[in-house]
Amino acid sequence: MNAIEARGLCKRYGGTRAVDDLRFEVAQGEVFALLGVNGAGKSTAVRMLSGLTPPDAGDALLMGRSVARERAEVRRVVGLSPQESAVAPRLTTRENLELIAGLYGLPGSRAAEALEAFGLAEVAGRAAGKLSGGWQRRLSIAMALLPGPRVLFLDEPTLGLDVLARRALWDLIESLRGRVTVLLTTHYMEEAEALSDRVGILRAGRLTALGTAEELKARARAASFEDAFVALAATQEVE
């Protein structure tokens, strides 16, 4: 069974086709990067795949469960770190993690473990809304990971992180490889190239390229992955 199977997902907002007939598969334990310029439809795709936004047409299977018909089951297997940091501002870092443990019916000790595991101990007692953007982001990602999801969606996870925090997150994603399926979006090409087993490129809601970073480089006859992205994110050809 694949972890993710997108089967012709479509979403329109008014006249714009945010996501148009999206089809791809991600194997269990794979790290997959979804790329595309601003407005290409990455976040919309993530929201549909994680069972938040119902697709206008098409469906997707998450660990074999339909996002259109089995949202409750899908929620049990997915974790999401939204593009904007999602924290309760007046709660402390620790209380935010305890909240998540509670929402998933997990013991409060998981919050203490997460504080250590994600290097958040030093800001444990500070109000989340008063943390710097990067710290909020770290907390937000820790909150997505705490329940131990089978499939993890990270929408621009490293936006606003300092170099050390970014490295730490890369190591974390690396450690998840093989155990947790990770779909991440990013505007940093070196990140996509370093982390992901395969890459998909969205252009105006349509998937225009799919493959390993090496394959895409070869296909675009580009010297670097960034050059390949520039070439592919601008073409209309569908793989």
Ligand X SMILES: Nc1ncnc2c1ncn2[C@@H]1O[C@H](COP(=O)(O)OP(=O)(O)OP(=O)(O)O)[C@@H](O)[C@H]1O
Q: Which does 36 bind (CB under 5 to 8 A by kind): ligand X, another protein, Mg ion, none?
A: ligand X
**Cβ closest to another protein, residue 36 vs residue 147:** 147
Which has the closest alpha carbon to 95: 108, 107, 81, 86?
108
Does residue 181 touch ligand X according to CB under 6 A?
A: no
Residue 38 near which of ligand X, another protein, Mg ion, none (CB within 5-8 Å, type-dependent): ligand X
**Per CB under 8 A, 91 contacts another protein:** yes
CA-to-CA distance for 144 and 113, rounded, in angstroms?
Answer: 14
| Gap between the Cα atoms of 123 and 133, Å rounded | 13
Q: What strand order describes the sheet that includes 57-62?
A: 16-26, 4-13, 57-62, 65-66
Read off the tokens for 144: 């997505």
Which of the ranges 79-87, 94-102, 113-121, 143-151 carries the binding residues for Mg ion, by CB under 5 A?
A: 79-87
Interface map 111-140 toward another protein (x if CB under 8 A): ----------------x------------x
Choose the contact partner of 41 out of ligand X, Mg ion, another protein, none; CB within 5 to 8 A by kind.
Answer: ligand X
The site map against ligand X for 15-54 (x = CB under 6 A) is -x-x-----------------x-xxxxxxx----------
DSSP 160-229: T--HHHHHHHHHHHHHHTTTSEEEEE-S-HHHHHHH-SEEEEEETTEEEEEE-HHHHHHHHT-SSHHHHH
Where on the chain is the footprint of ligand X (CB under 6 A)? 13, 16, 18, 36, 38-44, 83
